[in-house]
A and B are shown apart, each in its own frame.
Chain A
Amino acid sequence: MHFKNLATPIFLALLTALISAHVWSTNYKIDVNGIVCEFCSFGVAKKLRKLDFIDPSQFDQGVKVDIENQRVYISFQEGQALDQETIFDAIKSGGYDPIKMTPMDEVARPAEVTQ
């Protein structure tokens, strides 16, 4: 009887953990309006690399700017919570306008970012 009462919440907790593990990614891509110049975008990468949760061991010190497609790729340290507002603020203070942020698992990883 006791076990029967616990079975449902345990099952739901396991299911949630499995779904989270699948959807959660440590790498994200961010679409950024106007980011077409390597020199001008140096500040965006600089601002993002200063954030505590960026993983400097991944690709270009955790931040890769793709001016061909107006995207920024970032890598989080494992176990860190996603703080989109802080990331967007960093990009804005770098002089550009972020549009949306997408987990890398849901998009094709570009060859230059793949480790």
Chain B
Amino acid sequence: MRYLTTLFLLCTSSLLTSQAYAHQPVMDMAPRWNGGYGAQTRITHANNTTTTWVEGVYTFKPALRMTLKVPYSDGKNGDAILAMPIKRYKNAGASTSNWGLTPSVRMPTGGGNDWDAGLSLSYSSESKGYYELYDIYRLGDTTGIDINAGLSHADGKGSSWFTLWDISARDSDSGQHLLTGPVLVYFKRNVIVRGEYKFLALDNDKQWDGDYLSIGIGMVF
């Protein structure tokens, strides 16, 4: 896994943007059980625009989910993204990991006419005290890589939290950019709260301006 991490880190230094992280998984860790479902809302601020995302996920079985994300900003809906994550889990002793392949489609619900197809390949792993997620994807004209890695902590009474570091690199027709910063995630039973602040570390993008802030809350059932 160290070689993969190194490779991704090297790639991020040469890659670089896009719309507000539309491809990202909806609560990647859960629900991983048959018939599980969940919803979350996130507020993101980037490019001087505040966007509210309403997102839902349904798990047919651990290997197959369906997700829907609908953005809302400046008084109107944006383009919704429908995706179908296909996962292969491996549970081994004190760790669990999965490979994911996610085809997606961005629908012109925001008023346009264009449909965009997407595909993402991801790997995530969690063990006692450590979590990592690597995601490489293509959606529309954007290619990107996301890395989340860091420490996990649990109190043994149903709640836990992650302190992670995120690296997000985007390359699109408008240029490239690289964002990086801390991510805090808190779980209490079936509730997840996630906050992240990413600094603009590299900017060669005509359509990107400034840092990125995201705060979200979700529930699974």
A residues neighboring B (CB under 8 Å): 32-40, 42-44, 46-47, 60, 66-68, 70, 93-97, 112
Number of interface residues of B (CB under 8 A): 33
Note all chain B residues with C-beta closer than 8 A to A112. 156-157
B residues neighboring A (CB under 8 Å): 29-34, 36, 61-62, 89-96, 126-128, 152, 154, 156-160, 187, 189-190, 192, 220-221
Nearest B-chain residue to A93, judged by Cβ:
B34
- Complex CA gap A36/B91 in Å reads 10
* Contacts between chains A and B (CB distance < 8 A), count: 87
- Complex CA gap A66/B158 in Å reads 9
- Complex CA gap A64/B93 in Å reads 18
Note all chain B residues with C-beta closer than 8 A to A33. 91-93, 96
- Complex CA gap A60/B171 in Å reads 48
In-complex Cβ contact of B62 among A35, A46, A95 (8 A): A95
B93, A43: Cβ atoms closer than 8 Å: no
Note all chain B residues with C-beta closer than 8 A to A34. 89-96
B96, A40: Cβ atoms closer than 8 Å: yes
Note all chain A residues with C-beta closer than 8 A to B36. 43
In-complex Cβ contact of B33 among A32, A70, A93 (8 A): A93
Note all chain A residues with C-beta closer than 8 A to B126. 36-37, 40
Nearest A-chain residue to B91, judged by Cβ:
A34
In-complex Cβ contact of A36 among B30, B128, B189, B220 (8 A): B128
8 cross-chain CB contacts under 8 A = A36-B126, A38-B158, A38-B187, A39-B192, A40-B126, A46-B33, A68-B128, A95-B33
A39, B33: Cβ atoms closer than 8 Å: no
The verdict on A39 contacting B91 (CB below 8 Å), with A93-B33, A95-B62 known, is no
A38, B160: Cβ atoms closer than 8 Å: yes
- Complex CA gap A24/B220 in Å reads 36
A43, B154: Cβ atoms closer than 8 Å: no
- Complex CA gap A93/B190 in Å reads 17
